[in-house]
Every structure is written in structure tokens, then in C-alpha cells.
Homo-oligomer: A and B are copies of this chain.
């Protein structure tokens, strides 16, 4: 595959920013509607405290990058926006649940998230555990609804994909490795070299970002070559996201991040910044963005927004 003149294209900043904002607004509205007080068919009641905590954890914050990736990937294949938003809302529920559980005292013990008290601080620890459980469960409810896609085979493929990306072989397993990386379970159990760190990161954050792009292709019954292209893009984006995160942890400050900076070093975690150095990490990041742009070549101009997304992920300051 020859390298397209991606770097030479004018950056569609306005368009990208506007579309990210629009997707975030649509997701906010959709989650607000899905998490209404009235029980759905088959539910008995929605007790106010669990609903309040789930809404606190999922509404009013976040860039909604994951739903945006679903929407924009799906747009490449002519998927109805409403279907992509449903899948995006499900993935956002999984993302939010993971933040709630990761913030718990037994996990990362964080008091602040997006500049607000974490769920166990705003409510209590038991409520936070249950709100996380509720959001994770709700994600699969959302994916299984006909509003997500009329074809049950598509919906069930999304369920499989999300479960694999989020479970023991993806995000949950990655979080387990991340705790091991702090040395909690002894030195022998801590990831050591670059390969270990890459696996940890691919599982902890990469798998869900990767799945966002796959979801767009699944929703759109994309031809195999196009599915592979967005899958490759998604993997590279996930890697870029994590290096940028590691760099932010070193270079960022708490006020901008809305969460504590410098925690990785404090926990003794090995990151790619340790292994490659700050400038090596920046070089790797640029390389990943470039490869992500190349992966989108089959879509020509239609890939412009996703290219912007890769640069946004790499350059973000929070």
C-alpha cells in the first residue's frame, strides 16, 4: 500500500471538532433517555439511588471519543446514525463502568474524575460497585435492542465483540495486569519489557477503542477488506491513545487532566515512556498516527475525519 498524501491534506479542524461535539451531545441525550426512571419491559422497577448513581457516572462529562469513533466509522459504511449512536452508548456505558470500578479504594483509589468527586465519594463504595455493575449490564441491554440494528445477527455480533473487548481477554484482564504492574502481587507477576507493556495496554484501553471501529464495520456489513482497514486503524489508534496517556501522566498537570497526574511513576508502573524515554515515546506516537492515516487509505477523502481523530488522540492535553 503506498502512502497517501495524508499530511498534505488541510486539517478539517472545524468539521472534526463540530462532529465530536455533535456526537457527544447526541450520546448525552440518548443516555439520558435510556436511563429514564420508567422501567423497561421485563424490569421490575428502577430504584432511584442506583439510577442516580448510574446517571452520575455516565452523564455530563467526557469527550465521548468512543461513541464518536463508532459513529464516524459506521458513517463510512452508510449506517444510520441512530444505530451507531446506540452501539456507541453501549460502549460508553462500559467505559464509564470501568472508570467507576477503577476509581474504587481497592483499585486506584481516586477521589477525582473529570474534576468531580468519583462515584464512591459522591455516593458510597457499595453504591459505586453496584452502579458499575448496572452500567456494564445495561450496555448489553442496549446492544440487544432492535433500535440498535434491525438484524439480530448484527446485534449478537456486537454483543460478542463487546464482551471479548471488555472481558477477561480484554479490558478486565488488562486492568488485572495493570494492578500486577504496580507490584501488588509480587515482582514475578509484574509485566516487565516492552512486549508485556504493549499487551497490558492493548488489553486495558486498546481493546475497547479497537472494538469501536470494528462495531462501525459490523453495523455496516462492511466488506472484509474495509473491515480489516478500520480494524487496523482502531488498533493503531488504541496504541496511540495509550502512549499519549502515558506522556500526559508525565507532562500533564492535575488541573488540566481533571484527575491526578504522575500516578504511574508513584505506583512504580512500567510505561512506554520509561522504556522509550519521552522523546522516543513522542516519536513512536507520531509513527502510530502516520500508520493510522495510512490504514484509512481505502476510504480516500471519506477517511479525513478519522485521520483528524488520530491526530486529536495523539495531541490531546487532557
Question: Footprint of B on A, CB under 8 Å?
Answer: 39-47, 49-51, 54, 97, 101, 104, 106-107, 124-127, 129-130, 132-134, 136-138, 140-141, 143-145, 152-153, 155-157, 159-170, 172-177, 179-180, 184-185, 189, 199, 202-203, 207
- B126–A173 touching, CB < 8 Å: no
- B44–A169 touching, CB < 8 Å: yes
A97-B97 Cα distance, complex, nearest whole Å: 15
- B137–A168 touching, CB < 8 Å: yes
A126-B129 Cα distance, complex, nearest whole Å: 11
- B129–A144 touching, CB < 8 Å: no
Q: Which residues of B contact A101 (CB under 8 A)?
A: 129-130, 133
- B125–A106 touching, CB < 8 Å: yes
18 example contacts (A-B, Cβ-Cβ < 8 A) are as follows A43-B164, A43-B168, A44-B169, A44-B202, A47-B173, A49-B189, A101-B129, A106-B126, A106-B129, A107-B129, A134-B167, A134-B168, A137-B163, A138-B163, A138-B168, A140-B159, A143-B159, A156-B159
The smallest C-beta distance from A86 to any residue of chain B, in angstroms, reads 13
The smallest C-beta distance from A211 to any residue of chain B, in angstroms, reads 9
- A136–B134 touching, CB < 8 Å: no
Instruction: Report which residue of A126, A141, A157 has the largest number of chain B beta carbons within 10 angstroms of its beta carbon.
Output: A126
- B138–A136 touching, CB < 8 Å: no
Q: Which residues of B contact A168 (CB under 8 A)?
A: 43, 46-47, 50-51, 54, 134, 137-138
The residue on B at minimum CB distance from A142 is B163
- A160–B145 touching, CB < 8 Å: yes
- B160–A141 touching, CB < 8 Å: yes
The residue on B at minimum CB distance from A133 is B172
- A177–B47 touching, CB < 8 Å: yes
Q: Which residues of B contact A153 (CB under 8 A)?
A: 152
- A137–B136 touching, CB < 8 Å: yes
A165-B39 Cα distance, complex, nearest whole Å: 12
Q: Which residues of B contact A44 (CB under 8 A)?
A: 169-170, 173-174, 199, 202-203, 207
A74-B3 Cα distance, complex, nearest whole Å: 56
- A176–B49 touching, CB < 8 Å: yes
- B49–A185 touching, CB < 8 Å: yes
A161-B136 Cα distance, complex, nearest whole Å: 15
Other than the known A43-B169, A54-B168, what 14 A-B pairs have Cβ atoms closer than 8 Å? A41-B164, A42-B169, A45-B173, A50-B168, A50-B173, A101-B129, A107-B126, A127-B176, A133-B133, A134-B173, A137-B163, A137-B172, A141-B163, A145-B160
The smallest C-beta distance from A178 to any residue of chain B, in angstroms, reads 10
